[in-house]
Structure 1
Amino acid sequence: MLLLGPLLRYVDADSATIWVETADAATVTVTAGERTGSARTFAAHGHHFALVEVTGLEPGSKPPYTVAVDGTQVWPSDDPELAQLPPSVIPTLQPGKPLRLAFGSCRVSRSHDAEGTADFGVDALRAYALFMAGLTESGSDDDERWPDLVLFLGDQVYADETSPRMREFIERRRDPEQAPWYELKDFEEYAHLYSLAWCDPANRWLLSTLPSAMIFDDHDIRDDWNTSWSWKQRMDATDWWRDRVVGGLGSYWVYQHLGNLGPKARADDELWQRVASYDGPGELDLTADLDALAERADQHPDTYRWSYARDFDTQARLVVIDSRAARVLEPDRRSMLDPEELAWVDEHLQGDVDHLLVGTSLPYLLAPGLHHIESFSESIAEGAWGRPGMWLGEKSRQMADLEHWAAFQQGFRDLSEMVLEVASGRRGRAPRTITFLSGDVHHSYVAEAWPREGEVASRILQAVCSPIRNPLPKVMRGFTAGAAKRTTGLVGRLLSLSGRVPLEPVRWAVTSGPWYDNNLAVLELDPEGLRMWWTAGEADGDPELPDLTRVATVGPFG
């Protein structure tokens, strides 16, 4: 029996990986045309998972596929709601075809009826799924329904802001009056949360037929995750945090991270090696090893890497950076990336591609006013104004979520220097564009940067798409809009100067936005350059059958 999935994960020109969760230990077989792949399940905390690789596919093809568990076909499903959707296919990449990538972040799992839509708006991912399936219309003149992949940039699940259905599950297991209350406790609750996030028929179909890549952000674990040293010390001192973070990171490895990796990266992963090489009797139980990896990754982040990268011919390179778990939080060493992670990013931020895409859940370039407020907060929290300033800075960054790249100035500067070297052609041929893809901030915008001194050959962009479904409270919209204004940036810079924050290596401005819709963005790389557009669902009639609308279009760049 199939509990969750299939999810189509890493796909290239001639191979694909398909992830599933099953009810019992089994052998899972995926058949696409004449090509077949099989894998035994492995277990974690009583759950059963398989990642099946199918090879020898034709480049640029879209073969339908089936999934069988112990010889019984379970996909396509006979569920009436899924039966109205098209067959799931594996769309392999076609060398030379302009890359089209969808991206976005921050999606809560709530109902799609009138009540859920009134509270949280239309789910932009589901609206795109219905459009791809041909069940709804689009106001766009763009006839192409299929991106090559979708990049989810954090908060795929909310472990700390749980839905009524998740709360019902928690109440059946334990007393929510005791810590961690209605927040998630362990792997078992994470497994249920992922099921709620991915079980809606339209979204389930989309995830079965659109290759996906993912990276976590704070709500995948807990709001403000790894904001500061004092935050981490406070969490470590509780009697519930250890189970939470071990369950969160362990489930992330199974449900999200494993599918990000191509064949070589998977083969190099020490935990996956245990799965791939197992030939013993029965099913491999990975629980103890998975928990050990998760605990080690939390306490010693330099022991495991969640970041990953892949090339799309010479057309593009995608580098996805972990901006949460790899942080150095000790006050005298504070940085967004530990030395090992920084060295990995340094190795992968290179030229000799037409477009360099950098995925990081937290925007590298915030609105200038907000950036300077965050850099000021960090400077006084680290002692620029003495002890009173340290208390104020720490209090403000935890209360106001001031913990983006701007609040880790050393990491911001390190990354800026790398980007400027790539853009100036000192790391191979300069790309036409260097584009940061981010989420987190619950509004969408585009910013463009340039060096404070000298010139570069690449256009440096920041594109944010957030939320997919979790709208920013109206009271915050005026603040974020004001932070994008030039005058606010100047005032913020004066504030950061009072905290003795030096000038950044780059200057930038918000050039488009902000937009506050529930959005899914799409970028395309074609001969004219990089184009991007933001799409949203619009429910004029039936809230469960929203049409797709175009919110904004920008470009081409480069």
Structure 2
Amino acid sequence: MNFPDILAGPILRRTEKKEIYCWIALSKLIDTRTVVYDIQQTNDNFSLECVSSNCETTIAKMGENLFIYLMKATPNEEAFPTEQLLGYNVFFSDKSKEWSLTDYQLLDNHHPLSIVYGNLPLPSFFITETESASFLYGSCQKLHGIGEDALTKGDSMLADCWSDLTKRPSSLFLLGDQIYADDVADPIAPFIQLLGEKLIGKKEAYKELPILLGPDYNISFSQVHGRAEMMKELCCFTSTKAANHLITLGEYAAMYLLSWSPALWETAKEANSFLTFDELIARDKYYMDKTLNTDKALETRRKEYEDQANSLTKFANSVPKIRRLLANLPVYMIFDDHDITDDWNISIDWRQKVSNAPLGRHVVANGLTAYWAFQGWGNAPDTFSEQFLAAIHARIKGSSIQTQDYEYWLTSMWLFSNWHYTIPSTPVTLVLDTRTQRFYPDTKTKLIGSYLSKRTKGPNLIKREAWQKLEKSLYSSNWKKGEKLILLSATPLYGVDLIESFLKRIVLPISNKIPNLQETLDLEWWKFNGRGYHEFHNWLAKWNLSECIILSGDAHMAFALHSEVEHPFHGSRTIHQYTSSPIKNESFRGLASVALKGSLLLGNQLIKKNVTHRYCDHDFLLCEGDPTSDYIWKERIQHETLDSGFIIKTNNNLGLLEVSPPGITNKFL
């Protein structure tokens, strides 16, 4: 397989006055540097003034044909200009010559793969310190998800307002499920497996596991749709769509590259890598499980295959726009479960079973290693210690499972606790890790009258020690107690009340009687652990926020609300929450969408204009209504009606948040 030089990128990452990070994935080891320019426009002409010729490049060799570069540009003067359009170019060099993005036609305004807007000469961005700022945000992007990819709407917005910094968003927040490791489409699975092998260039150590040496698993491992049983039995995963689940580090890397760049889609087309369903059957490359024993079943699977292929084609056509967007906005990311596997750490039982399954432990560590390389590293590069980087290096060496290096890597990935970080935005943004820092309650749910006693079975999404680390990170930023704060939480603090109430009153009480019901129904919103929900509010009270804005995803629907929270001894505050999901993975279409919206509309009329009153008692029970006795805090929650007249949006969307002294506005693109 012949790889292009640039596999993905450039992607603009952490950006502030003192340093700017640029990320790029290459297929070869060469010298790279980023140069930053001040862009001045006179009529239709642009002049460029170099404001940063200082660049420190760090390289992570992930495989024989995969090198991740993180370039840190620092200003020639004391700081980069603010409230001014800036641009950048990436230069490459070897012993004989130097070239840049220009030589790949990426800066050609008329080329279909161009990463510049309008007639600009370079990809562009700006740094703002004013009290007025806007941000794009969203979550849940699946390659074969239904509908148009909402990131293309962000690209269209920048295409319209690239020169107007008062309208142009300053950053993009991706709030989880940037890839779906557990839900891989049949038509793309063979190419991802092949690509993973070629990128890394060596076989993974997990194949040394004795349980994988038998012929059955070796055959199904490489067949399309053949991994479901392996993931269930050998990994103890609970995904219901694991037939092509990513396993190797190379496969995780391939999924990221295909999600963000058109380069390897072109490689796949040139190599005729996409076979038809019948071609796979004829070549014995499709796993014929026992459900495919009739012509009708086979035809149904063929139709699913063709539908997925059509969705993938649409996505491939949109990738150049996605790449351009990622090159022109500072991008910040955090994982949710599908970045690793569905239901990741959803319960203590899940975590214990998977950590005790050698293959499950290996796959989760692979997912986290890929997350670091493609997402986490650029969020806050200084977060990762020499010990952590040594663990990554131990993995890349491809050590045998019998070595200390291999065990060191596994343990380091599973125990790492610094995925959270702050973003130097205005206001400051604090990014929460709601997957790896959980606390799991011992007490099961008991139903007493109409209330759930003590604690629900849902996990506390952030344990107390992790909150303390978050506070330390917050005070290490420019944030000061009492100021506004933006919180990024992959999981919403507030859900749609009617849906949450149904799950809490009906489903949670029986989840103690039915094994795996929690995993099946994904019961892990903040509300399903009263103590954890209270702790969230308690920290907000401690920080004395003048205003709190929560941006979240995960829900596969978009909605907006605000809550007036009152503490008897800690004053009151307003919390705004905006949830944008999915970017590309519509779950409610046609009659299902109409029925859901209709039910919510009827329910909202019954609960008086989308308003809910709630309080927390001293047993950490979340009770609806006004408190009649002593309470810890109470709140009044009101859902906002969207432009459609409903309180939810079910098609693919991307959020646009605008924060200014007059107030906060939000809309869904």
TM category, shorter: 0.7 to 0.9
For 1:304, which of 417, 425, 445 is the aligned residue?
417
Q: Is 1:323 aligned to residue 434 of structure 2?
A: yes
Q: Which residue of 1 aligns with 2:376?
A: 257
Aligned equivalents of 2:11, 2:247: Cα separation in 1: 25
- Whether the aligned pair in 2 keeps the contact of 1:376 and 1:501 (CA below 8 Å) is no
For 2:142, which of 108, 111, 135 is the aligned residue?
108
Q: Which residue of 2 aligns with 1:19?
A: 23
Aligned equivalents of 2:406, 2:326: Cα separation in 1: 27
What SS class does the counterpart of residue 81 from structure 1 fall into? coil
The code of the aligned residue for 2:584 comes to R
Q: Is 1:52 aligned to residue 74 of structure 2?
A: no
The code of the aligned residue for 1:308 comes to Y
- Whether the aligned pair in 1 keeps the contact of 2:192 and 2:255 (CA below 8 Å) is no
Q: Is 1:336 aligned to residue 336 of structure 2?
A: no
Per the TM alignment, residue 330 of structure 1 is displaced from its structure 2 partner at its CA by: 6.1
The code of the aligned residue for 1:198 comes to W
Sort the Cα spacing of 1:250 and 1:11 in 2 relative to 1 into closer, same or farther, 3 A: same
Aligned equivalents of 1:102, 1:129: Cα separation in 2: 11
State how 1:390-405 maps to structure 2 within 5 Å. Answer: 390-392=512-514, 394-405=515-526
> What per-residue deviation string (whole Å, max 9, x for no partner) do you get for residues 274-315 of structure 1?
99xx9xxxx996767997676335643xx4211111344xx4
What SS class does the counterpart of residue 470 from structure 1 fall into? coil
Aligned equivalents of 2:350, 2:9: Cα separation in 1: 36
Aligned equivalents of 2:337, 2:185: Cα separation in 1: 17
Aligned equivalents of 2:536, 2:495: Cα separation in 1: 14
The code of the aligned residue for 1:399 comes to T
Aligned equivalents of 1:415, 1:219: Cα separation in 2: 24
Sort the Cα spacing of 1:212 and 1:269 in 2 relative to 1 into closer, same or farther, 3 A: farther
What SS class does the counterpart of residue 331 from structure 1 fall into? coil
What SS class does the counterpart of residue 428 from structure 2 fall into? strand
Per the TM alignment, residue 416 of structure 1 is displaced from its structure 2 partner at its CA by: 1.4
What SS class does the counterpart of residue 128 from structure 1 fall into? helix
Aligned equivalents of 1:286, 1:411: Cα separation in 2: 40
Which residues of structure 1 form unaligned runs of 5+?
A: 111-118, 137-141, 382-388, 536-558
- Whether the aligned pair in 2 keeps the contact of 1:27 and 1:40 (CA below 8 Å) is no
Sort the Cα spacing of 1:293 and 1:20 in 2 relative to 1 into closer, same or farther, 3 A: farther
Aligned equivalents of 2:620, 2:156: Cα separation in 1: 51
Sort the Cα spacing of 1:324 and 1:285 in 2 relative to 1 into closer, same or farther, 3 A: closer
State how 1:343-354 maps to structure 2 within 5 Å. Answer: 343-347=468-472, 348=474, 352=481, 354=483
- Whether the aligned pair in 1 keeps the contact of 2:116 and 2:123 (CA below 8 Å) is no
Sort the Cα spacing of 1:284 and 1:493 in 2 relative to 1 into closer, same or farther, 3 A: closer
Aligned equivalents of 1:238, 1:40: Cα separation in 2: 34
Q: Which residue of 2 aligns with 1:186?
A: 248
Aligned equivalents of 2:572, 2:374: Cα separation in 1: 39
> What per-residue deviation string (whole Å, max 9, x for no partner) do you get for residues 54-88 of structure 1?
11132233333221233542414326422384344
Q: Which residue of 1 aligns with 2:527?
A: 406
Sort the Cα spacing of 1:319 and 1:203 in 2 relative to 1 into closer, same or farther, 3 A: same
The code of the aligned residue for 1:93 comes to I
- Whether the aligned pair in 1 keeps the contact of 2:588 and 2:651 (CA below 8 Å) is no
- Whether the aligned pair in 2 keeps the contact of 1:3 and 1:21 (CA below 8 Å) is yes
Per the TM alignment, residue 448 of structure 1 is displaced from its structure 2 partner at its CA by: 1.6
Greater alpha carbon shift after TM alignment, 97-106 vs 290-299: 290-299
Q: Is 1:39 aligned to residue 57 of structure 2?
A: yes
> What per-residue deviation string (whole Å, max 9, x for no partner) do you get for residues 75-112 of structure 1?
143264223843443423132252211111111224xx
Q: Which residue of 1 aligns with 2:309?
A: none
TM-score normalised by L of structure 2: 0.66
For 1:160, which of 182, 189, 192 is the aligned residue?
182
What SS class does the counterpart of residue 120 from structure 1 fall into? coil
Sort the Cα spacing of 1:293 and 1:54 in 2 relative to 1 into closer, same or farther, 3 A: farther
The code of the aligned residue for 2:99 comes to Q
> What per-residue deviation string (whole Å, max 9, x for no partner) do you get for residues 472-493 of structure 1?
2233664477468455799x99
The code of the aligned residue for 1:108 comes to K
Per the TM alignment, residue 402 of structure 1 is displaced from its structure 2 partner at its CA by: 1.3
State how 1:144-155 maps to structure 2 within 5 Å. Answer: 146-155=168-177
Aligned equivalents of 1:206, 1:15: Cα separation in 2: 21
Q: Which residue of 2 aligns with 1:120?
A: 146
Q: Is 1:518 aligned to residue 631 of structure 2?
A: no
Aligned equivalents of 1:239, 1:265: Cα separation in 2: 28
- Whether the aligned pair in 2 keeps the contact of 1:157 and 1:194 (CA below 8 Å) is yes
What SS class does the counterpart of residue 491 from structure 2 fall into? coil
The code of the aligned residue for 1:196 comes to L
- Whether the aligned pair in 1 keeps the contact of 2:10 and 2:24 (CA below 8 Å) is yes
What SS class does the counterpart of residue 244 from structure 1 fall into? helix
Per the TM alignment, residue 156 of structure 1 is displaced from its structure 2 partner at its CA by: 0.5
Aligned equivalents of 1:284, 1:406: Cα separation in 2: 38
> What per-residue deviation string (whole Å, max 9, x for no partner) do you get for residues 326-367 of structure 1?
113363695212332121234438754642111000000112
RMSD: 3.7
Per the TM alignment, residue 211 of structure 1 is displaced from its structure 2 partner at its CA by: 0.5
- Whether the aligned pair in 2 keeps the contact of 1:357 and 1:437 (CA below 8 Å) is yes
The code of the aligned residue for 2:375 comes to Q
Q: Is 1:83 aligned to residue 114 of structure 2?
A: yes
Sort the Cα spacing of 1:270 and 1:291 in 2 relative to 1 into closer, same or farther, 3 A: same
> Which protein has the larger Cα radius of gyration, Structure 1 or Structure 2?
2
Sort the Cα spacing of 1:360 and 1:480 in 2 relative to 1 into closer, same or farther, 3 A: farther
State how 1:535-554 maps to structure 2 within 5 Å. Answer: 535=669
- Whether the aligned pair in 2 keeps the contact of 1:153 and 1:217 (CA below 8 Å) is yes
Per the TM alignment, residue 373 of structure 1 is displaced from its structure 2 partner at its CA by: 4.3
Q: Which residue of 2 aligns with 1:548?
A: none
Q: Which residue of 1 aligns with 2:495?
A: 366
Aligned equivalents of 2:122, 2:529: Cα separation in 1: 43
TM-score normalised by L of structure 1: 0.78
Greater alpha carbon shift after TM alignment, 287-296 vs 149-158: 287-296
For 2:223, which of 159, 175, 187 is the aligned residue?
175
Sort the Cα spacing of 1:220 and 1:18 in 2 relative to 1 into closer, same or farther, 3 A: same
Matched pairs, number:
492
Aligned equivalents of 2:129, 2:494: Cα separation in 1: 32
> What per-residue deviation string (whole Å, max 9, x for no partner) do you get for residues 29-51 of structure 1?
11223323142522124421111
What SS class does the counterpart of residue 107 from structure 1 fall into? coil
The code of the aligned residue for 2:521 comes to A
Sort the Cα spacing of 1:206 and 1:131 in 2 relative to 1 into closer, same or farther, 3 A: same
- Whether the aligned pair in 1 keeps the contact of 2:137 and 2:174 (CA below 8 Å) is yes
Per the TM alignment, residue 235 of structure 1 is displaced from its structure 2 partner at its CA by: 3.2
State how 1:415-434 maps to structure 2 within 5 Å. Answer: 415-422=536-543, 425=544, 430-431=545-546, 433-434=547-548
Aligned equivalents of 1:403, 1:252: Cα separation in 2: 22
For 2:32, which of 28, 31, 34 is the aligned residue?
28
> What per-residue deviation string (whole Å, max 9, x for no partner) do you get for residues 12-37 of structure 1?
12421001111122221112233231
Q: Which residue of 2 aligns with 1:539?
A: none
Aligned equivalents of 2:244, 2:440: Cα separation in 1: 28
Greater alpha carbon shift after TM alignment, 253-262 vs 64-73: 64-73
Sort the Cα spacing of 1:15 and 1:126 in 2 relative to 1 into closer, same or farther, 3 A: same
Q: Which residue of 2 aligns with 1:240?
A: 359
Aligned equivalents of 2:405, 2:659: Cα separation in 1: 38
Per the TM alignment, residue 525 of structure 1 is displaced from its structure 2 partner at its CA by: 1.7
Sort the Cα spacing of 1:442 and 1:209 in 2 relative to 1 into closer, same or farther, 3 A: same
Sort the Cα spacing of 1:480 and 1:401 in 2 relative to 1 into closer, same or farther, 3 A: farther
What SS class does the counterpart of residue 86 from structure 2 fall into? coil
Q: Is 1:438 aligned to residue 552 of structure 2?
A: yes
The code of the aligned residue for 1:28 comes to T
Aligned equivalents of 2:350, 2:391: Cα separation in 1: 34
Sort the Cα spacing of 1:297 and 1:324 in 2 relative to 1 into closer, same or farther, 3 A: farther
Sort the Cα spacing of 1:517 and 1:9 in 2 relative to 1 into closer, same or farther, 3 A: same
Q: Which residue of 2 aligns with 1:461?
A: 576
Aligned equivalents of 1:500, 1:308: Cα separation in 2: 28
Which residues of structure 2 form unaligned runs of 5+?
A: 38-49, 198-221, 232-242, 262-318, 444-454, 624-631, 642-646
Q: Is 1:221 aligned to residue 340 of structure 2?
A: yes
- Whether the aligned pair in 2 keeps the contact of 1:377 and 1:396 (CA below 8 Å) is no
What SS class does the counterpart of residue 190 from structure 1 fall into? helix
